[in-house]
Structure 1
Amino acid sequence: MLKKYKILVVVTEFPSVSETFILNQITDLIDKGHSITIFSYNHNKNSFAHQLYYDYNLADLTITHFKNEKTNWHFLKGIITFFFKYRTQITYSKLFKLLNPLKWKENRAKAKVFYDLPVFLLNTHFDLVHCHFGFNGRKVAEAMRIGVCSARKAIVSFHGSDLTPSKINIYQNVYKDLFFFFDAFIVNSIYLQEILFQVKGDLDKCYLLPEGFKTSYLNQFLSTVKISPKFNIVFCGRLIQWKGPDLAIKIVKKLVDRGTADILFHLIGNGEMMGELRRLVKELHLEENVILYGALSQEQVFKIMAGSDVFLLPGIQEPHSKRSEAQGLVIQEAQFFKLPLLVGNVGGVKYGMLNGTTGFLIEENNMEVFVEKILFLYQNPEKRIKMGEKGHDWVKNEFEISLLGNKLIKVYDLLN
């Protein structure tokens, strides 16, 4: 009989609109019969959440920290709410022991950890704690170092923002306890694994496990009718420099200037570049060709994808941080919806598609090649459809969360 685990999942924000891979993994673990508790440092920053969050009643499984509340009143209210809600589950002896004046130095360190991870005040014992992002793993590593972690084993999944190439020397210091106390390390691409090995070359128990999508959930959107009679290009991602949303708009401008005026570009996402992108659209007179949606729910994104023709993500390597796309689950989701890809050849993107078969991998900043490949797909609908079908078939076998979840459970089994 397969072992069922009691798992504590530690995340930065939950639910996060931009981190659907965490949501997919959690719901798959629940589907497989495992018991999940989610500890989040922040509330959802958006006014909406993805439907899966509600379908699985994940609010009931989530403990959200009170320390990052916006005002002192909300902070105080958060503390009171925590102690009232979990009053029958808190191990009060852990708090009383902190008052021992003979161990004030040791107790000060423990008090800091309990403040940072109040979930460890509960009388619940976990088979393992699974941290998403290295910076959250650091906090749990500190709890393990001073002996207050209530989980037997610890795993961390790196996703990209926690392994910025320009900060390797910093990580070698700040991740020391993480590497010493944790039992397994997961990366989502070969690209990210190579960065991790630059931080610690002799790292043991490192596993490659991509982020995945939930086929049973995506299937309902496949029959979506085309959203516009025009040629629909879609971009989806945070509006930051290294994802290339400004380049995407400039590519659309070149297409329009070459006579393909029946193009409609759907730019989905929010971020620091939104104001700049709005100005760029106006400056290039593309108001009739570009729609800037802002952040959307997963359901809205999938409907737009399923009703579009191609997916465009002209990502680059950010000049200063050297950061680029580690995997980009949205690239696999686009292929599931039978969209040929036009993506920048940076980071780990090439490991999540088949160049020339499911789309085109194009050198960063080469806008002319992006334009030529889009025109090729625009002028050859039968080849575009065939490429989309191949992408759909390929990602179903490589990135379906249930299959990837089985591999994750094997990692858990190795630790137990």
Structure 2
Amino acid sequence: MKVLHITYSEKGGAGIAAKRLHSALHQNGVSSAYLSTNLTINFKDEVIIDDFFKYTKPSLVKKIGLKILNLFPLSQRGRLSKKIKNYKKEKDFEIISSPFSHFKLQNHPLYKEADIINLHWVSGILDYPSFFKKCKKPIVWTFHDMNSFLGMFHYKNDYNKASLELHNFNVKIEKIQKKCIENIKKGVIITPSKWLLQEVNKSGFFENYITETIFNSVDLDLFSIKKRVVLRTKYGLSNYEFVILFVAEDVGNYRKGFDLLLESLRYIKSIKPTILTIGIDNPDSYKDVKVISLGKISDEKKMAEIYNVADVFILPSREDNLPNVILESFASGVPIISFNVGGIKEHVLNNKTGFISEELNGISLSEKIVEFYNSKDNFNSLSIREYAKDNFSYHKQYKDYLKIYKELLKND
């Protein structure tokens, strides 16, 4: 059995989750490969030089051909692609994607070698019309957001605030997605959360697919409980500070809700926390709050240390699936405070792994921060880590996926 994982990038939440699944399978004896725009790992688990996604200058013949094509009216695909490019320039949305791509994944050597294709976050590299028409291999598609059934959009908040004109255009994109997906005869949709599975089933896009929930995994050897006092000294923090950790690729991302965390602190007079932020940030813009910005960190060993200096991880997302930070925080024995949204609510359990704020606003969040502060000694880091071991281990994820792969091949 050879399984090929395809994702846009090794960076970002989806890319990291896909790479962890690849590692989980490889460590348990399954032949697995990983294909992305910036990292390719073959079935021997070797990182290889791969020019597949690199730009190549068009030949003279191709240039002449393109000039001739420009003299004629655009095809339907061309017209749609041009419109999507224009919508992408709008700053009101976190991300907008196209179902079209000039890459032909089905031509990659690793694709040809694979028995099963496991798609992940593939916006920008998956050409729906050509791929789903030509792919005859069994497909497992692991969803990391809602793009595969929301047209150009990835999140409901963006979808809901679109103008009527944009909604009408997006209906065309949804129809293209659905028509292309119907070409797949053997496929399984995997979601890392039960919430996303419900959204998938409501969409009506995947009636020919089996749909299941399998949680993402985390390296429990890397993310573990470490000596807090030693690490706080290393990062210039005293052992008496109440340290809140916040992590996002971009701290200013509206969906991630850092503004709600700052708002919540305005309602708290008795606690003066220190906030550590990981991600693109501008700490000079914060007033009356101690914020230490550590910037973007790609070194997972360093991230594993930073979790351990925190008293609590606050995840105030307005919308989210199952962020890797939940798994990493729990594996480090650190509780989480978050809102009652998406897949987050399935794992942040009151008085056990953290606290859920039922109302999505700063006041409600402030109440949970105070409640946690007054009861923080009741949380057991070993119990929180046990929860991670029970739910997010490489071995559990490997077993669950292997069962799916075997069923697909058995009926092939």
Structure 1 residue 119 displacement after superposition: 4.4
Q: Is the 8 A contact 2:7 2:15 kept in 1?
A: no
Cα gap change, 1:29/1:199 in structure 2, threshold over 3 Å: closer, same or farther? same
Are 2:342 and 1:347 equivalent residues in the alignment?
Answer: yes
State the 1:66 CA deviation: 3.0
Query: For 1:333, which of 322, 328, 333 is the aligned residue?
Result: 328
Q: Name the residue aligned to 2:389.
A: 396
Q: What is the match of residue 176 of structure 2?
A: 173
Post-superposition shift, 1:360? 0.9
Say whether residues 1:213 and 2:218 are aligned partners. Answer: yes
Determine if contact 1:134/1:156 at 8 Å carries over to the other structure: no
**Corresponding residue of 2:249:** 238
Q: Deviations over 1:58-114 (max 9, x none)?
A: 6615745334x5xxxxx349x9xxxxxxxxxxxxxxxxxxxxxxxxxxxxxxxx999
2:187 matched residue in structure 1: 183
Match of 2:291 in 1: 290
Tell me how far apart the structure 1 counterparts of residues 388 and 333 of structure 2 sit (CA, whole Å): 10
Measured against aligned partners, the alpha-carbon deviations of 1:113-168 in whole angstroms (never above 9, x if no partner) come to 9953274357942111111136479537723514xx4x732221111152533389
- Paired residue for 1:65? 52
**Contact map agreement 1:138 1:177 (CA 8 A) in 2:** no
Tell me which residue corresponds to 1:310.
312
Q: Is the 8 A contact 2:3 2:118 kept in 1?
A: yes
What secondary structure, in the 3-state scheme, does the structure 2 residue paired with 1:8 have?
strand
Task: Pick the aligned partner of 1:158 from 140, 143, 151.
Answer: 143
Q: Residue 108 of structure 2: SS of its match in structure 1?
A: helix
> Could you say if the C-alpha distance between residues 299 and 161 of structure 1 is closer, same or farther in structure 2, counting changes exceeding 3 Å?
farther
Change (3 A) 1:376 1:114: closer
Query: Is 2:46 aligned against 1:36?
Result: no
What whole-Å deviation, never above 9, does each CA across 1:12-66 have from its counterpart, x for those lacking one? 01244774211211111111222233221x327xxxxxxxx99x99661574533
Q: How far off its partner does 1:213 sit? A: 0.9
Contact 1:6 1:34 in 2 (8 A): yes
- Where does the alignment leave 5 or more consecutive residues of structure 1 unmatched? 45-52, 70-74, 80-111, 317-323
- Larger fraction in helix: 1
- Per the normalisation by structure 2, the TM-score is 0.72
Q: Which residue of 1 aligns with 2:90?
A: none
1:189/1:122 Cα in 2 relative to 1: closer, same or farther (>3 Å)? closer
Displacement, 1:195? 1.6
Describe how 1:89-238 pairs up with structure 2 within 5 A: 115-117=103-105, 119-120=107-108, 124-133=112-121, 135=123, 139=127, 142-146=130-134, 149=135, 152-162=137-147, 164-165=155-156, 166=159, 169=171, 170-181=173-184, 182-200=186-204, 202-219=207-224, 222-224=226-228, 225-227=230-232, 228=237, 229=239, 230-238=241-249
Q: 1:33 and 1:395, CA in 2 relative to 1: closer, same or farther beyond 3 A?
A: same
Provide closer, same or farther for how the CA distance between residues 8 and 360 of structure 1 changes in structure 2, counting only shifts above 3 A.
same
Equivalent position of 1:23 in the other structure: 19
2:5 to 9, 20, 23: 9
Q: Return the letter of the residue paired with 1:290.
A: V
